[in-house]
């Protein structure tokens, strides 16, 4: 996209209606590579370049939180060579980008069952969490070995343990108590979900949190998704009426 085109789009984005939290399912990497006769890992590598571009754009327009679905609990079913490469991507990305993210005051977070991650991957993630914990800018939240149903089960288990220990009364359990025990307990629910690749489902991603999230789908594959597509998704979000079950005043 030309600089002039980008400037024109930025003028159309309302500064007063920027979504606080945008979630993204980074989908279509394998198909993107297959369409070019390349190995699937080439698509994942290209997808990392898109990630860098979208994070930069989100930071520029004032989004507060971005959650990226990087690896699901179901992705372990993929061929072992692909899983091995996918597990290396967080390490590679964080090693290359951490200094830039620090300069931009970005906070790195991660959700999911991180205990199953390979040692080197887990170390890279933990180092990034530690090094950026005092930053105050854009929060980048990576969902790694994440599943929405597993997250809810974990939350219910924690609450049950507190009830059994006498630390919580059953009558005190409400939607807020459950939300507080989710992996995302310290960040707001997503305002907007973006899913490239033409798939029209949320694939076990942030099931509880997306009760009132606006959904935006596109056939563009993730490696081809760029700043223009991202800005158009934001503008489309800004044209919608969010009533949360009520009536617009």
Contacting residues for 171 by C-beta, under 8 A, at least 6 apart: none
Task: Give the active site residue among 27, 59, 189, 191.
Answer: 27
Helix (H, G, I), strand (E, B) or coil at 226: coil
Q: How far apart are CA 216 and CA 241, in angstroms?
A: 14
Q: What does the DSSP 8-state code read for residue 188?
A: P
10 Å Cβ neighbour count for 80?
8
Among 189, 191, 210, 207, smallest CA distance to 151 is for 207
Q: How far apart are CA 113 and CA 154, in angstroms?
A: 10
* Cross-strand bridge partners of residue 108: 140
- Identify whether 27 is a catalytic site residue: yes
Whether the Cβ atoms of residue 137 and residue 106 lie closer than 8 Å to each other: yes
Output the CA angle 177-213-25, nearest 5 degrees.
Answer: 105
Q: What burial class does residue 54 get, using C-beta atoms within 10 Å of its C-beta: 0-12 exposed, 13-18 middle, 19+ buried?
A: buried
Task: Give the active site residue among 35, 49, 59, 75.
Answer: 75
- Identify whether 75 is a catalytic site residue: yes
Q: What burial class does residue 104 get, using C-beta atoms within 10 Å of its C-beta: 0-12 exposed, 13-18 middle, 19+ buried?
A: middle
Kindly list the catalytic residues: 27, 75
């Amino acid at each position: 996209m030309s600089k002039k085109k980008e400037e024109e789009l930025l003028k159309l984005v309302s500064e007063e209606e920027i979504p606080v939290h945008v979630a993204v399912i980074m989908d279509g990497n394998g198909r993107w590579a297959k369409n070019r006769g390349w190995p699937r890992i080439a698509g994942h590598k290209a997808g990392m370049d898109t990630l860098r571009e979208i994070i930069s754009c989100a930071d520029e327009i004032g989004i507060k939180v971005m959650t990226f679905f990087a690896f699901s609990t179901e992705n372990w079913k993929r061929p072992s060579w692909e899983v091995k490469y996918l597990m290396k991507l967080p390490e590679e990305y964080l090693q290359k980008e951490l200094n830039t993210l620090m300069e931009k005051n970005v906070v790195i977070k991660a959700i999911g069952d991180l205990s199953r991650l390979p040692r080197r991957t887990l170390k890279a993630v933990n180092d990034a969490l530690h090094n950026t914990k005092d930053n105050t800018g854009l929060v980048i939240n990576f969902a790694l070995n994440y599943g929405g149903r597993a997250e809810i089960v974990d939350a219910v288990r924690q609450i049950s343990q507190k009830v059994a220990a006498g630390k919580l009364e059953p009558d005190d359990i409400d939607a807020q108590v459950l939300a507080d025990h989710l992996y995302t307990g310290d960040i707001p629910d997503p305002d907007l979900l973006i899913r490239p690749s033409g798939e029209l489902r949320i694939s076990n991603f942030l099931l509880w949190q997306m009760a009132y999230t606006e959904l935006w789908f596109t056939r563009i594959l993730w490696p081809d998704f760029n700043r223009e597509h991202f800005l158009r998704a934001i503008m489309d979000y800004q044209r919608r009426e969010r009533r949360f079950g009520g009536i617009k005043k």
